[in-house]
Amino acid sequence: MIWEGFLLTLKISSISIVFALLLGTMITVMRLSRIKPLEWFGVAYIEFIRNTPLLVQLFFWHFGSYYLLPDWLNTWKNSLSSPEFIDGVIALSAYTSGFIAEDLRSGIFAIPKTQLEASRACGLSFMQAMGYVILPQAFRIVVPPLISQCLNLIKNSSLCLVISVAELTYMAKQVQVRGAHGFEVFTVSTLIYLCISLLVSLGINTYNKYFLRTIKY
């Protein structure tokens, strides 16, 4: 059961990371756009995400997705064996995307404005300049904080137990209820999360050393 929960944790985390990166990038571009409705939506989205708890958002999407999502998407979700998994992906992706958007925006601000102006002067549109010139450089700068956000997402996936997603913490709880080995099973699950964190931290430190060496030479 612990192994199955661990695999589901990796599954829901990896899928959510992909969608969080895509959504966070889109929100960043909207916030930096000169089109006011898009800019206002980006600001409102980030403020909503960053100022509400993830636990509340999990319940929000779990009980409110029927009213917010299109009918065809609700029909498809309900046809699955675990619609709670989809709700967890939506909540984790939306929550993490707000923080990724802010990290990416700080990376864009670290790039000289003259690069955007030069791109526009060469005939590129705003979206083309962002896609071909600005965003590739910004992603390179913010890789360490992005990895940290991915690590936070993996740990935050444990909260999905409240909507009955059978991830690692949920399975550990089930083992504890059935066998009353709470200390042993949660020690194992804690060590698993610790190993994931240490591997991600090792990746961050390795990247930082390589990046700094590249800049120096």
Cα–Cα distance between 127 and 115 in angstroms, integer? 14
Give the position of tokens 């985390």: 13
The helix (run of H) or strand (run of E) holding residue 127 is helix 126-129
Q: Does residue 72 have a pLDDT over 80?
A: no
In this prediction, residues 179-207 reach a mean pLDDT of 84
Question: Whole-angstrom Cα distance, residue 67 to residue 63?
Answer: 9
CATH number for the domain including 200? 1.10.3720.10
In the chain, how many domains are there? Answer: 1
Range of the domain at 143: 2-216
Return the minimum-mean-pLDDT range out of 37-46, 96-105, 117-126: 117-126
Q: How confident is residue 217, by pLDDT bands cut at 50, 70 and 90? A: very low
How far is residue 28's CA from residue 38's CA, in Å, rounded to a whole number? 10
**Among 80, 84, 104, which residue's Cα sits nearest to residue 157?**
84
Where is average pLDDT lowest: 65-69, 128-132, 170-174? Answer: 65-69
**Residue 171, both tokens:** 């399975």
Token pair belonging to 210? 């390589």
Distance CA 182, CA 48 (A): 36
Share of the chain above pLDDT 70, in %: 95
Name the pTM for this structure.
0.85
Q: Rounded mean pLDDT of the chain?
A: 85
Give the distance, in angstroms, between the CA of residue 197 and the centroid of all CA atoms in the same chain. 16
Give the confidence band of 8 by pLDDT, cuts at 50, 70, 90. Answer: very high
